Amino acid sequence: MIRFSLKCDQNHAFDMWFADSATYETLVGAGHVACPECGSNDVEKGIMAPNVAAKSGGEAMGPREIMRKISEYRATVMAETKDVGKAFPEQARDMHEGLIEHTPIRGEATPEDVKALHEEGVPIMPLPPEPPKEN
């Protein structure tokens, strides 16, 4: 069984359970899924948050575990990289082109810099923001 978050053409949000994705597609395609609020059959999937499976036993991680993992990842990146600040785009490009030695770096880049680096094939990725602290 799978639960989908759905919305109708009137922007009413609701959830429904289906045997699998194929069943959802079949029922929606045949007009058998209707909004419980207005009865509209013009229904599509809404934004859904997937469960993230943990390594042990395949159980889903909760938000606290996900935030802990993000914090651990950030701590590792911060410890194992050099902060080059606003020189990041230039240094990443120079490493990619073989002009300087490859070393793990992090720094700042504007959206325009990021787009240009991606278009040039420079392998970069954003560092996720620090999760909020628990009260």
Domain assignment of residue 110, yes or no: yes
Domain assignment of residue 100, yes or no: yes
pLDDT tens for the 135 residues of the chain, in order: 688 889 999 999 888 888 888 888 888 888 888 888 888 999 998 776 655 555 555 567 788 888 888 889 999 999 999 999 999 999 999 999 999 999 999 999 999 999 999 999 999 988 888 888 765
Question: pTM of this prediction?
Answer: 0.53
Q: What is the C-alpha separation between 69 and 27, in angstroms, rounded?
A: 38
Domain assignment of residue 72, yes or no: no
Domain assignment of residue 17, yes or no: yes
In sequence order, the β-bridge partners of residue 3 are 17
Domain assignment of residue 68, yes or no: no
Which structural domain range is residue 28 located in? 2-45
pLDDT at 64: 85
Taking the CA atoms of residue 12, residue 16, residue 21 and residue 22 in that order, the dihedral angle to the nearest 10 degrees is -100
